[in-house]
Amino acid sequence: MKSHVQEVLEIEKRAQAVHTAALKEAEKLPVEAEKEAQALLEKARREAEEEARRLVEEARSQQDADRLLAQAEEKANQTKSLAMSHFDRAVGYVLDRIAGRE
């Protein structure tokens, strides 16, 4: 049978091994936490950059759409003005025909 002293020495030995393992694990935690934090920061940065690119592209698309709309409205106004001048001349022509001037 083992003596009490031997049992105490074995228990102390196991406790020391557990303590050493815990210290090694504790030393790893800050390094792992730093790596995880860096990975999260990098992911957040990539996502923010992608969102910024998307927003800029949307703004550009909106600006392009606004510009095209303004151009189309200007063209429509020009066409309307031209049509009105042709209409005025056509009305004048019809009135002259009715009045027998032509």
Q: C-alpha angle 44/47/49, rounded to 5°? A: 110
Q: What is the pLDDT of residue 1?
A: 60
pTM greater than 0.85 (yes/no): no
Could you give the C-alpha distances from 79 to 6, 27, 34, 91, in angstroms and in order?
107, 78, 66, 18
Domain boundaries, the chain: 1-76
Average predicted confidence (pLDDT) for the chain: 86
Tell whether the model's pLDDT for residue 4 goes beyond 70: yes
Averaged pLDDT for residues 59-85: 89
96 close to 102: Cβ distance less than 8 angstroms:
yes
Taking only the tens place, the pLDDT of each residue in 23-33 is: 888 888 888 88
Averaged pLDDT for residues 10-15: 90
Higher pLDDT, 89 or 12: 12
Query: How many helical (H) and strand (E) elements, i.e. helices and strands, does the chain have?
Result: 1, 0
